[in-house]
Structures are given as structure tokens and as C-alpha cells.
Amino acid sequence: MQISAKELSNKFHGIIEGDENILVHAPAKIEEGFEGAVSFLANKKYEKFLYDSKSSIIFIDKDFDVKQKPNATLIRVDNCYKVFSQILKYFELAKTRSRIGIEEGSHIDKDATIGQDVYVAAFAYVSKGAKIGNNVKIYPHVYIGDDVVVGDNTVLYSGVKVYTDCQIGKDCILHSNVVVGSDGFGFAPKEDGAYEKIPQTGNVIIKNGVEIGANTAIDRATMGSTVIGDGVKLDNLIQVAHNVEIGKNTVIAAQTGISGSTKINKQCVIAGQVGIVGHITIADGTRIGAQSGISKSVSQPLTILSGTPAMSHKESLKSQAVYKKLPELMGKLRTIEKQIEALNN
């Protein structure tokens, strides 16, 4: 796919300096540019690459002071960094949208519903009653269970498994080996010490604009639904247990585990390797540092927490400072003990 400077400028409300007809077909770092590449300059540390970059088009901020004429065509925009993230998305979508059709070796049940411009790769399996929206891309070894719903423009990469009755919204991306709708971890202890499995009868509802990283597992609800809200971004290797609810535009980094029936509200930021107990609520805009342990509800919006057990981030930093001094304090304590013992003798 190729696009001209004029088309890019119109699309992102830019001002062209140079050849408006020059074509590009791929993004590249400004220092690694090549003919046909589009790059950006948002950090002045990289200005030295602007003037001799081999990229054909370079995006810069409207107020950027250019010291000399570069070889590339420039497009000035209001927020270069933000615009270029949209450009990267544009090229990525162009690659996936080019895939259309049903490949030989895939299976689509006769009772499934398939939208327009769908791609189903070889070895993918679409079960009875599934409803696949328009422009959905289903890569090899994807399994879609009975009565699953997949919304328009969603991409399911190789190895994704979506169990029976689960729902995935529009414009979602599920990376390789994501599992949606596996059984929640529910077992009742028996008198003989063994455990009896509690049937997990609910489903998972993933709303619109969600991205889920590789090898993340989202368990179905015991009853009702596990819910992932609009715009949520989950990293790789995250465990979301049964009946969890994650609010709109919350982001969670890798290796975090969320126990059952916990409700995380909107616009929270949760770093890697955080452990969250079950049956609690976390308020809007909460920020949680890496490797924190959350053992109780967070009721105050915009709270910042860290540590195990988690506490106010400022208090956590104070505690860390004291912890570092423990050997020194222990030495002083022993000295005082000896002095007291000498006085007593």
C-alpha cells in the first residue's frame, strides 16, 4: 500500500513543505529511514537525523524550528507524537485489512453467521451459532466456540481460544494464545478433603476497542459475566478471574493477577506483577506500582499505591528508606543493649 504526502497531510490536518506527490509505503525510525518511508521527529535529541534522513516524508510539530532544508518532504502537525501513533495504526490496519476470504482447511459451521470482508485462515474453527462481524480477521488455529459473538473489525491472532457464549466487541485485538471463557477457579471442599468442581455457567463480555496481550486468560463467570470495559488494554500473561469487572480505559501490565469478583473501575493504571485479592473494589483512576499486593478495597479516586501490602505510595517510600537502615539500626540497638547490661552489672 502506498499513500502520498498530500493524502497524509489531508488525513492528519498537516501543512506540507516539499513534494506533495511523493509516496510512502511503510513507517521507519528517522535514523533508519529509507526511500518510501515515513518518519517523525518529536524529540529534539534526534534533530541531527532530520537533515540527512533517507525517509521520504517526516512529520514534525508546527512550531519546530528547522535549521536547514532537509532532503525529505516535511508535514507539520499540531502534535507530532500523537499523529504518528495514528499513522502506525493506519499502516498496521492496512496490512490486516488486505486479508479477505476463507482459506481451505478452515471449518465454519453451517449455522454460523459470517459478515462481509472476513478472513478465516486455514485450521481455524468457527462453531455452531457463532456470529462473526464485518472485516473480522481470524488467524490459524483460532477456536471460536458455540454462540460466540465477534464484533466488526476485530482481529484474533493465531491460537486464540474463545469458549462458548462469550462476546467480543468491535475494534478489538486479541494476541496469540489468549484464552477467553475458560472456567473460573471454583471448587468446594468435601468432607474427605477432596474438592468438588463448581460449574461455571456464566460468560465473558469484552466490549469495544479492547486489546489483550499474548497468553492472557480471562475466566468465565460462575454466574453472570466477567466484563472487560471499553478501551481496556491488557498486557501479556495476565490472569483475570471469574466475575471480575474492569472499567473503561483501564490499563494493566504483564503478570498481574486479579482474583474473583473484584471490580476495577475506569481509567486505572496497574503495573506489572500486581496481585489483587478477590471481592474488593478499586476506585476510578487508581495507580498501583509494580509488584504491589492489594488486599483491601480502594475507595478514594486517584489514589497512588505501592508495596506489599500496598499502602500510600509516599508511605511506601518512607518504609523503604527505613528498611534500608535496618542493619544500621540493629547495630545501634545491640550497642545500647550492651551499655544497659554494663550499667546493670
Q: Where are the domains of the chain?
A: 3-97, 101-317
Buried b (16+ CB within 10 A) or exposed e, 86-122: ebeebeeeeeeeebeebeeebebeeebebeeebbbbe
The confidence score (pLDDT) of residue 315 equals: 82
The confidence score (pLDDT) of residue 330 equals: 87
**Grid cell for residue 225:** 459475566
Q: Identify the CATH assignment for 3-97 out of 3.40.1390.10, 3.90.550.10, 3.40.190.290, 3.10.20.310.
A: 3.40.1390.10
| Tens digit of each residue's pLDDT (9 = 90 or more) over 132-159 | 999 999 999 999 999 999 999 999 999 9
- Topology at the third CATH level for domain 101-317: UDP N-Acetylglucosamine Acyltransferase; domain 1 (2.160.10)
Cell 460466540 maps to which residue?
Answer: 148
Contact of 261 with 244, CB cutoff 8 Å: yes
Residue type for position 149:
V
Residue 175 appears among annotated catalytic residues: no
Could you give the CA distance from residue 254 to residue 324 in angstroms, rounded to a whole number?
A: 28
The confidence score (pLDDT) of residue 90 equals: 86
The confidence score (pLDDT) of residue 44 equals: 87
| Tens digit of each residue's pLDDT (9 = 90 or more) over 313-338 | 888 788 778 878 888 888 888 888 88
The confidence score (pLDDT) of residue 328 equals: 86
Give 25-81 as a DSSP string.
-EE--GGG--TTEEEEE-SGGGGGGTTT---SEEEEETT---SS--SSEEEEES-HH
Is it true that 3-97 and 101-317 share their CATH fold?
no
Q: Which residues of the chain have pLDDT under 50?
A: none
Given the residues 25, 107, 141, 242, select the one marked as catalytic: 242
Contact of 166 with 187, CB cutoff 8 Å: no
- Secondary structure element (H or E) that encloses residue 134, with its range: none
